[in-house]
Amino acid sequence: MKELTIITTDINNVLFDKDGTLLKLDKMWADWVWNIEKYLIANKWSKENELAKFIKMIGLEEEKVVPDSPLSVASESEMKIIFAYHIYLNNVDWLGSVEAVDNAINYANSKMAHDDNIELMEGAYEFLKGLHYSGKKIGVITADTKANAQRHFNKVGILKWIDFIIGSDCVERSKPFPDMLDIAEEKYDVKMKDTIFFGDSKVDVRMAELKCLNKIVGVNNSELKADFHIENFENIYIEKGNDNKDANKNS
């Protein structure tokens, strides 16, 4: 697979997944799951050994998030259903299960807002800055909620470079369905033939394929069947157009 080294002038729109692409995945979501676990055990909704096994099944192994697991790619609403089903199997009715998990996820989200566990992928800040000053339209398509994404990006200082965010709470169907890209096209005038998309999972690639994007870039996942691959955002050159005097090379 070819490594992406340049953003050419024919690309007008640059879209990103959030977690595992712009933001590092493991510590952020491992802490999130541990806070859900902490809440559910403290309130006696689940037993520690059973919940630990379940968390491993959905994609957390030795403090690492398993690529393309539910924890890696599922939306927040999908994760609520997954955790609620676990509680339901412990002889709790469905209403009680859903309410318990909703409270646990709210607790985990509130902790994430204050914990120091959100980290940018290497080179992301300068790359986004360079894209902004080169006149590219920058968007984020995330399985997380729009509000969560705004908080996370604000915390690491990149919200100012992003033109729009579309979260899974903005659509009926999250990835791999292309509903969020439909909004990008209709609301933000993103033409797919002029667009490059960066993502780290199979659902990212499938979503982009369904909308026939110009280029798809796999991030830190060499197994993806994408057009290009990168480990991080360092050393990607942004080609200068006639009117783009501030485009730069990231290092």
Examine the domain organization and report whether 129 and 94 are in the same domain.
no
Examine the domain organization and report whether 109 and 138 are in the same domain.
no
Q: Which of 69, 84, 114 is the last residue of a domain?
A: 114
Calculate helix-pair angle for 146-156, 94-114, nearest 10 degrees: 20
The CATH number of whichever domain residue 215 belongs to comes to 3.40.50.1000
| The predicted structure's pLDDT at residue 244 | 46
- 164 or 91: whose pLDDT is higher? 164
Q: What is the mean pLDDT of the chain?
A: 92
Q: Which of 59, 91, 114 is the last residue of a domain?
A: 114
Query: For the purposes of burial, counting CB atoms within 10 Å of the CB of 110, is it exposed (0-12), middle (13-18) or buried (19 or more)?
Result: exposed
- Rounded Cα gap, residues 202 and 206, in angstroms: 6
| The predicted structure's pLDDT at residue 250 | 47
pLDDT tens digit sequence for 101-139:
999 999 999 888 776 788 999 999 999 999 999 999 999
| The predicted structure's pLDDT at residue 115 | 67
In DSSP terms, 6 is beta-bridged to 237
| Contact between 40 and 87 (Cβ < 8 Å) | yes
Return the amino acid letter for 86.
H
Q: How many domains, in total, are found in the chain?
A: 2
pLDDT tens digit sequence for 211-250:
999 999 999 998 899 999 999 999 899 998 754 444 444 4
**Averaged pLDDT for residues 172-201:** 96
| Contact between 20 and 72 (Cβ < 8 Å) | yes
| Residue 15 domain flag | yes
20 has a pLDDT exceeding 80? yes
| Contact between 156 and 118 (Cβ < 8 Å) | yes
- Residues with Cβ within 8 Å of 163's Cβ and at least 6 positions away in sequence, in order, are 137, 138, 139, 188
